[in-house]
A and B are shown apart, each in its own frame.
Chain A
Amino acid sequence: KNQVEQSPQSLIILEGKNCTLQCNYTVSPFSNLRWYKQDTGRGPVSLTIMTFSENTKSNGRYTATLDADTKQSSLHITASQLSDSASYICVVSSDTGRRALTFGSGTRLQVQP
């Protein structure tokens, strides 16, 4: 069964600090992995997409890594801001001819002043 596990479930950090969110998956065959940011009461917005051949990809203060061998991904946030407070969702796509998506439960990040 395809699964995506995210950790931690929730995280509180001080403004300006860095943090790393984890995503482990057991999706096969693997097509790509996305990180979404979801503000409270709003729909998810894509931050980055990573394919099998990519190890690292950055989007401003967000840096995602992918280890396809260990089936792990991380999202590193640098110099956190109050506006980073949100849920971060890892979504893994399986290329089964008609793409199937497996969603993680998300990590709830709260950045405090």
Chain B
Amino acid sequence: ETGVTQTPRHLVMGMTNKKSLKCEQHLGHNAMYWYKQSAKKPLELMFVYSLEERVENNSVPSRFSPECPNSSHLFLHLHTLQPEDSALYLCASSQDLLYEQYFGPGTRLTVT
């Protein structure tokens, strides 16, 4: 157990649905991240939050909307997704932006 939890672990949603992914870290870290992992591709960094402030947004479509209410919680709100958005979504945290990242188990998302 790495101290980073994600829920749900699996999610199937239609293209018209709205859902949210949740990430919680119990490590006292100040930075949190969302990554997308598609089959046979490198991890793609989506968003970075440091001290609850978004510091990076890597040209992610607006159908993905992050929220960081405090340094322990990170959400990814999803709406009107496309089938190509099906992937493993990983959350990570680190002490700050310069330190090692600890990953959660991921949410396997399937868009039908």
Contact = CB atoms under 8 A, between A and B. Distances in A.
**Interface size, A (range):** 10 to 19
Contacts of B105: 41-43
B97 A43 contact: no
Interface stretch (B11-19, B36-44, B66-74): B36-44
B111 interface: no
**Interface size, B (range):** 20 to 34
A58 interface: no
Contact of B42 (A34, A49, A98, A104): A104
B4 to A, nearest CB: 7
Nearest to A10: B40
A71 to B, nearest CB: 17
B21 interface: no
29 contacts: A34-B100, A41-B88, A41-B105, A41-B108, A42-B105, A42-B106, A43-B2, A43-B91, A43-B92, A43-B103, A43-B104, A43-B105, A43-B106, A44-B43, A44-B103, A45-B103, A49-B100, A89-B42, A89-B43, A98-B55, A98-B97, A98-B98, A99-B98, A101-B45, A103-B42, A103-B43, A105-B40, A105-B41, A105-B42
